[in-house]
């Protein structure tokens, strides 16, 4: 793989460690995630996205970049920083487009909310419970499809366990490995959910 001469030593080290695999890769994943973390705020401001959406786009970006480096799809024609920025900004633009093209879906949600307001309190609660139960049932089904370890990790996180506690319970090397694994698991779950809604 060719690297441009303007690639910083830290970027070369991250790329090399990701391709080495094993514990080196896990440390490099954490380093990569933290190295460009500032992009979340930048993307949120630039594209007027809520910070949690920008953070989700950033997590997706890091997962894509890692996969592309490991599979040699990243050829080093640009610096790692330029590459990460490009992927991240593309994902932000996709989010903005999704929001503008899905306005009709928003109206459907609004119609349901309006309908709930018109119902008596008791009926409203029953309808809300039915909607929540249906969503929960669908989500639990998707959790089953992403593998037992991912399912367990995400359920522990949902129950309020910290990354450090999950690392101890599930015998991960560190809380950083848990964080990276959680991002991967969330991405898998997201793909499953998107497949059912699209």
Tell me: the pLDDT tens digits for 44-70?
898 888 888 888 899 989 999 999 999
Prediction pTM value = 0.50
Tell me: the pLDDT tens digits for 140-194?
788 888 888 888 888 888 888 888 899 888 888 888 888 888 888 888 888 877 7
Q: Which pLDDT band, with edges at 50, 70 and 90, does 122 fall under?
A: low
The two structure tokens encoding residue 29: 């994943």
Tell me: the pLDDT tens digits for 1-11?
344 444 588 99
Residue 12 in contact with residue 1, Cβ under 8 Å?
no
pLDDT at 92: 92
Cα distances from 121 to residues 51, 69, 108, in angstroms, run 34, 54, 21
pLDDT at 4: 41
pLDDT of 72 higher than 60: yes
pLDDT at 36: 92
What percent of the chain stands above pLDDT 70? 75
Domain 9-101, classified CATH 1.10.1740, yes or no:
yes
Tell me: the pLDDT tens digits for 24-36?
888 999 899 999 9
pLDDT at 121: 52
Instruction: Map out the domains of the chain as residue ranges.
Output: 9-101, 123-197
Q: What number is the average pLDDT over the span 131-146? A: 72
């Amino acid at each position: 793989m060719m690297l441009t001469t303007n690639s910083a030593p830290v970027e070369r080290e991250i790329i090399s460690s990701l391709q080495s695999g094993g514990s080196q890769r896990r440390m490099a994943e954490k380093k990569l995630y933290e190295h460009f973390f500032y992009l979340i705020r930048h993307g949120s401001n630039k594209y007027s996205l809520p910070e949690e959406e920008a953070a989700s786009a950033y997590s997706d970006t890091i997962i894509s970049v890692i996969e592309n480096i490991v599979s040699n799809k990243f050829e080093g024609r640009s610096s790692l920083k330029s590459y990460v920025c490009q992927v991240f900004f593309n994902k932000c633009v996709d989010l903005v487009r999704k929001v503008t093209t899905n306005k009709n879906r928003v109206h459907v949600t609004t119609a349901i909310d309006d309908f709930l307001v018109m119902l008596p309190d008791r009926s409203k609660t029953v309808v809300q419970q039915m909607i929540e139960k249906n969503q929960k049932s669908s989500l639990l089904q998707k959790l089953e499809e992403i593998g037992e370890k991912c399912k367990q990790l995400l359920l522990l996180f949902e129950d309020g366990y910290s990354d450090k506690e999950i690392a101890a319970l599930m015998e991960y090397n560190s809380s950083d490995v848990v964080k990276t694994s959680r991002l991967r698991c969330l991405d898998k779950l997201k793909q499953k959910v998107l497949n059912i809604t699209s």
